[in-house]
Each structure stands twice: as C-alpha cells, then as structure tokens.
C-alpha cells in the first residue's frame, strides 16, 4: 500500500469554492432541520433523512460542475461505493450529513464533510457545522488549517480566516469523546494519558476541537466509515496533529468497503499503544 501525498493541487479559489459548496449544502440541511421530517433506517441500520439527500444533491452537482475530472464517493450514493481498490488515485470522499443522530435529536453538532483522497490519504478537508456557522478548511501539503464563521464566502479570502494549530501539550490533557459511542475501553485508554478533562461532542467536530487547541486527544475504539473521518483527518493533520492506526502509522483510506478500524486522533502528544 502507498501513502504518498498530494498529486492534485487545489488553489485558494478551489478551497473557497469547496467551502461555499459545504455552506450551500448546510443551508439545505437547515431548511429540513427547522421543520418536520421523517427518519428512515438504511440497510446498515444507520438513520437517513431528506436532509442527508438534499445535502448530497448539492455537493454532487457542485463537484461535477467544478471538479468534474475527479471522481466522487459519497455516503449517500451506494453506486459510488463499488470497487474501492480501483480508487487508489484521487477522489472526493463526502459525508453530506455527518452526525445524523445529532440532527434528528436537534443537537447542533452535525456537519457537512468533504475531503480529497490521494494515494490513500486525505490531502484537503472541508467541514461545515450549519448551526454553528463554523467552516473549517485543511490543506495538508501546505500545513495550513483555518476556521471562519460565515454563511457566504463572497469577497472573502483565506486571509480572513483564523489559522488553526494544535496546542502544546499541557500538564493536564483534555480529550474529546463521542456523545453516542464512548466506552469503558475508551476511558481506559484515556487513563494511560492521565486525562483530566473530557469534552463530549458529536460528529467530525471532535477532530476540529483538537485542531484548534481545545483538546489534545480523540480516540475512537469502535468502527467508523472513511467518510466520517477523512475531512477531519485532513484538518487535524494540516493543523499539526495526526490520526493514527493501532500500529502508530497514519490512518489510510480507500480500504475495502471504506471501513475504518479503531483510530487515535492526537495533537501534540506522544502515541501510546492501547492495552
């Protein structure tokens, strides 16, 4: 397997276009969020709402229009999930609504996730939290990550964004944990670091909290899908952090069925192997 980095370079205009695309998808999500909606259960037992589908439609159309030479894999397009072994080059990996359970329960922590995968690693990541109006962008090759609170990027440049950097490890570490998937194993792992503060939040915002220096660790000792993690992985890596597999190597993508094993997202802390 190979993990070389970018072969595709996205310029500032490209990144802002992707950011606006995530914002536009978020606006569609909010139209549903503010009204009444039904919940379906997919074959994998995960929930689905018309907000997931509306967001997917906006992103899929925008990516084809502006980046048509790059293929797209989206959680909500089952046909795109075929033959991941053939997607070892560049492709967009999209979760149109990450944190559907948060959305259904009217909690504010759901996001729109767009990542570019190249040679099995995310090289660019976009996360937008529609309720918070917070947009995150990560450029791994440049080692730059950003945040802004905005609903429209017209007339803005990346200079208007706040740069993000993981914080130096403090004497007492803080960890961000899942609202829905915490476990005794996770708590035992955090005890290895002597973590004294735990922040519970949903969706890919956990990566963002580490990237902007509000926490130091985010371990996930249960399964996830690649579209859940790719954008956050890129943003955290661009901010100076890392997302590691159990063996201490970077988490790779374009795996069979786009399925992730456990992973460990970290800021400025040394990796410790779980028991």
Boundaries of every domain in the chain = 12-163, 174-266
Residues 183 and 163: their CA atoms lie apart, in Å, by 33
pLDDT of residue 2: 42
pLDDT of residue 5: 59
Mean pLDDT lowest among 26-40, 59-73, 84-98: 84-98
Q: Same topology for domains 12-163 and 174-266, yes or no?
A: no
pLDDT of residue 3: 47
95 annotated binding-site participant: yes
86 annotated binding-site participant: no
Residues 145 and 237: their CA atoms lie apart, in Å, by 9
pTM of the entire predicted model: 0.94
For the chain, helix (H) and strand (E) counts, in that order, are: 6, 16
| Backbone phi and psi for residue 55, each to the nearest 5 degrees, phi listed first | -65, -45
pLDDT of residue 202: 87
Task: With H, G, I as helix, E, B as strand and everything else as coil, classify residue 256.
Answer: helix
Q: 200 pLDDT exceeds 50?
A: yes
Q: Nearest to residue 211, comparing CAs of 107, 103, 134?
A: 134
99 annotated binding-site participant: yes
Residues 42 and 111: their CA atoms lie apart, in Å, by 19
247 annotated binding-site participant: no
pLDDT of residue 4: 53
Q: Which two tokens stand for residue 52?
A: 């997931």
Across all residues in the chain, what is the average pLDDT? 92
Comparing 82 with 137, the larger pLDDT belongs to 137
| 12-163 is classed CATH 3.30.540.10 | yes
Kindly report, residue by residue over 211-256, the tens digit of the pLDDT. Answer: 999 999 999 998 899 999 999 999 999 999 999 999 999 999 999 8
24 annotated binding-site participant: no
pLDDT of residue 254: 92
Task: With H, G, I as helix, E, B as strand and everything else as coil, classify residue 140.
Answer: coil
| Backbone phi and psi for residue 110, each to the nearest 5 degrees, phi listed first | -80, 155
Kindly report, residue by residue over 152-191, the tens digit of the pLDDT. Answer: 999 999 999 999 999 999 999 999 987 666 688 888 999 9
pLDDT of residue 177: 86
16 annotated binding-site participant: no
CATH topology of domain 174-266: D-Maltodextrin-Binding Protein; domain 2 (3.40.190)
102 annotated binding-site participant: no
Q: Which two tokens stand for residue 59?
A: 């992103």
Q: Which two tokens stand for residue 40?
A: 């379906």
Q: 74 pLDDT exceeds 80?
A: yes
């Amino acid at each position: 397997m190979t993990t070389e980095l970018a072969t595709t370079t996205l310029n500032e205009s490209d990144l802002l276009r992707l950011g606006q695309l995530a914002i536009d998808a978020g606006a569609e999500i909010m139209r549903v969020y503010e009204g009444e909606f039904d919940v379906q259960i997919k074959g994998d037992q995960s929930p689905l709402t018309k907000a997931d589908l509306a967001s997917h439609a906006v992103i899929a159309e925008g990516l084809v229009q502006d980046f048509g030479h790059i293929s797209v894999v989206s959680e909500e397009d089952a046909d795109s999930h075929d033959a991941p072994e053939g997607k070892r080059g560049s492709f967009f990996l999209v979760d149109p609504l990450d944190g559907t359970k948060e959305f259904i329960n009217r909690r504010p922590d759901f996001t729109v996730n767009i990542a570019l995968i190249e040679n099995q690693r995310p090289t660019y990541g976009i996360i937008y939290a529609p309720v918070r109006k917070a947009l995150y962008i990560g450029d791994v090759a440049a080692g730059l990550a950003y945040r802004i609170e905005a609903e429209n990027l017209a007339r803005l440049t990346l200079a208007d964004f706040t740069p993000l950097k993981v914080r130096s490890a403090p004497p007492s570490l803080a960890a961000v944990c899942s609202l829905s998937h915490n476990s005794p194993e996770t708590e035992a792992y955090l005890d290895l670091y002597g973590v004294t503060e735990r922040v519970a939040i949903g969706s890919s915002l956990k990566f963002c909290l580490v990237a902007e220096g509000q926490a130091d660790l985010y371990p996930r000792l249960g399964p996830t899908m690649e579209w859940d993690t790719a954008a956050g992985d890129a943003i955290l890596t661009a901010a100076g952090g890392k997302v590691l597999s159990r063996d201490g190597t970077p988490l790779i993508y374009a795996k069979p069925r786009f399925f992730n094993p456990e992973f460990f997202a970290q800021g400025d802390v040394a990796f410790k192997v779980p028991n």
